[in-house]
Amino acid sequence: MAKVDKRYTLLFFAQALGSLSLISQCVPIYARLLDDPGTPQRFGVAMVVVAGLSVVLVQTAYWYRVFNVILPVRTKRVVVGHLILFASRLGFIVASALFSIVLFRHLPEIDFAQNWSTFLWRGLLLLAVLFTLFCFTTELERLGSAMRGPERQPLPRN
């Protein structure tokens, strides 16, 4: 059983590292899009490579964990479970904010006739990043829910 725990820990930290890398890439992009909506942003090759590799790392670790490694929770830790659930919600707020700024403020200002292929691959990368962060937050929710345990029912009053 110790082997499963080590595999889960390794896979979880791979997902966490990749997700933190994606979030660290999203924050400066968010600020630029907020300051200058509609202007096509130039992203360095390094930023795109880091985002792509982070997506691959998280997706690989996530799906391997889903199909091959069980959650190693054996005891209830209600408070820790709640904190993990809280972290999952906070993580997806960043992704939701980026998507909202792109969808509601940036896209209406863009002239798509300029270079539609660039907008296409950037849109696909954005969707991949959002789905990746969704997968990690789902993993956090599973872990937090398992640690929290089932809700206790109050004793009936007579």
Q: What is the DSSP string of 66-90?
A: HHH------S--HHHHHHHHHHHHH
Q: Could you tell me the two tokens for 130?
A: 């959002």
The separation between the first and the last C-alpha atoms of the chain, rounded to the nearest angstrom, is 44
Q: Give the integer Cα–Cα distance in Å for 101 and 45.
A: 22
Query: Maximum CA pair distance of the chain?
Result: 73
- pLDDT tens column, 105-155: 656 555 556 666 667 777 788 889 999 999 999 999 999 999 887 777 777
What mean pLDDT do residues 24-28 have?
81
Contact criterion met (CB below 8 Å) for 138 and 66: no
Distance CA 22, CA 109 (A): 25
Report residue 17's pLDDT band, with 50, 70 and 90 as the boundaries: very high
- pLDDT value, residue 34: 73
Residue 75 has pLDDT above 90, yes or no: no
Q: Which residues contact 98 (CB under 8 A, 6 or more apart)?
A: 26, 29, 30, 33, 126, 129, 130
Most confident of 20-29, 31-40, 112-121: 20-29
Percentage of the residues of the chain whose pLDDT score is greater than 90: 35
Task: Give me the mean pLDDT over the 58-65 stretch.
Answer: 97
Indicate the DSSP class of residue 109. Answer: G
| Residue 1 confidence (pLDDT) above 50 | no
User: What is the pLDDT, as a whole number, of residue 8?
Assistant: 93
CA–CA dist 83, 35 (Å, integer) = 33
What's the rounded Cα separation, in Å, for the pair 155 and 158? 9
Read off the pTM: 0.80
Q: What is the pLDDT of residue 45?
A: 84
> In the block, which residue shows the tokens 């659930």?
85
